[in-house]
Amino acid sequence: MKKHNFNPGPSILPQEAMDATVAACKEFAGSGLSLLEVSHRSKEFKPIVDQAEELFRELLDIPAGYKTVFLGGGASLQFCMVPYNFLEKKAAYLNTGTWANKALKEAKLFGEVVEVASSKDKNYTYIPKNFTVPADADYFHVTSNNTIYGTELKGDLDSPVPMVADMSSDIFSRPVDVSKYICIYGGAQKNLGPAGLTFAIVKEDALDKVTRPIPTMLKYSTHTANGSMFNTPPVLPLFTALQTLKWLKANGGIKQMQKVNQEKAAILYDAIDSSKIFVGTVTPEDRSLMNICFVMKPEYAALEEEFASFAAAQGMVGIKGHRSVGGFRASCYNALPIDSVKALVACMKEFEAKH
Ligand SMILES: *Cc1c(COP(=O)(O)O)cnc(C)c1O
């Protein structure tokens, strides 16, 4: 049976990216060797990193003065690398959920942290508005898409100080004004590639400004100066990510992705809003296009398990909600076909008709 992959991460990737990876694992770029056994400094592999950086620049319209580096350690390591490299005295953080909290907690190890606003009072079901970012902060950190709670910033905020964003789960899903940020980072495993790869887009003139010593591997400038080759980068995930970037370009780029993502989300949110048994968990204006959360209405709460098995039997994978929200979460990343969303809606309607 066809599986519809709504996994939150690691998650669905373009079939083309996976096919190209399988082929390269058999033989890589005419080298007579597998991708898994070539040197990262070989003439065959070097272009992979260069092309990935170039496609980041092209697809996200990254201005001059920025570099993209490819690292290990996940978005979670960025939670400490960001303050290590950019926090001299004070940083501002917007608390929109679990990941934002983890980022904030690490920053406290390096200086004063101002939580400008939090949506914890309503279990992170909305994005706080009307807060003030201190003008003397070194940076303002946001989590652009809250993978667990299904809320998303609808565009780039205005801030009196440069911003830093964790875009792990919505990078390449919408255009971004990169010039507002000194750092945009994320784990690849939501919308870009397999687990094991982390990207960071950093503004070069914001680097090496803090007075503290920074261990070599945790210093962004180590990696910008060495083209992500200071040590061995995650070779296989980088190769796959490059294939995803090529797929993005061949399929109309980010504006087109955004259009399709809006269509997919509208189909699913409409089905949720018109349902007699399901209800969305997020304030409508802050709903994520990437992670769509819904629960059973209280009077149908007893049917949750039954719907989970019903959906699984129809090929729906990964729709169980995160334990801190419960219910269901359908992650609709770039590579998820619109037909999968339609199949999920059909499945919800069929279930509803039975009850
Ligand atoms: C998944 C996720 C993370 C954690 O990423 P790791 O690569 O596992 O460290 C951080 N932030 C957001 C928004 C995420 O979705």
Domain boundary among 202, 223, 250: 250
Structural domains of the chain, count: 2
pLDDT in tens, 115-165: 999 999 999 999 999 999 999 999 999 999 999 999 999 999 999 999 999
Residue identifier of the C-alpha nearest atom 4 of ligand 1: 75
CA of 186 to the centre of ligand 1 (A): 7
Residues forming the active site: 99, 166, 190
Residue 5, pLDDT score? 98
Residue 5, domain member (yes or no): no
Ligand 1 atom closest to the Cα of residue 143 is 13
CA of 100 to the centre of ligand 1 (A): 10
CA of 44 to the centre of ligand 1 (A): 31
Q: Are residues 281 and 147 in the same domain?
A: no
Residue identifier of the C-alpha nearest atom 12 of ligand 1: 168
- Domain of residue 333 covers 252-354
The H or E element that residue 203 is part of is strand 198-203
CA of 267 to the centre of ligand 1 (A): 26
Q: Ligand 1 in contact with 187 (CB < 6 A)?
A: yes
What CATH number is given to the structural domain containing 296? Answer: 3.90.1150.10
Residue identifier of the C-alpha nearest atom 11 of ligand 1: 99
pTM over 0.85: yes
Residue 25: count of CB within 10 angstroms of its CB: 14
Residue 330, domain member (yes or no): yes
pLDDT in tens, 218-252: 999 999 999 999 999 999 999 999 999 999 999 99
The H or E element that residue 103 is part of is helix 98-107
Q: What is the mean pLDDT of residues 181-192?
A: 98
Task: Give Cα 337 distance to the centre of its chain.
Answer: 18
Q: Are residues 221 and 296 in the same domain?
A: no
Residues 21, 10: Cα–Cα separation, whole Å: 16
Residue 2, domain member (yes or no): no
Q: Ligand 1 in contact with 74 (CB < 6 A)?
A: yes
The owner of tokens 């909600």 is: 321
The owner of tokens 């400490």 is: 80
Q: Are residues 228 and 279 in the same domain?
A: no
Ligand 1 atom closest to the Cα of residue 187 is 7
For residues 238, 239, 243, 249, the Cα torsion angle rounded to the nearest 10 degrees is 50
Residues 234, 199: Cα–Cα separation, whole Å: 11
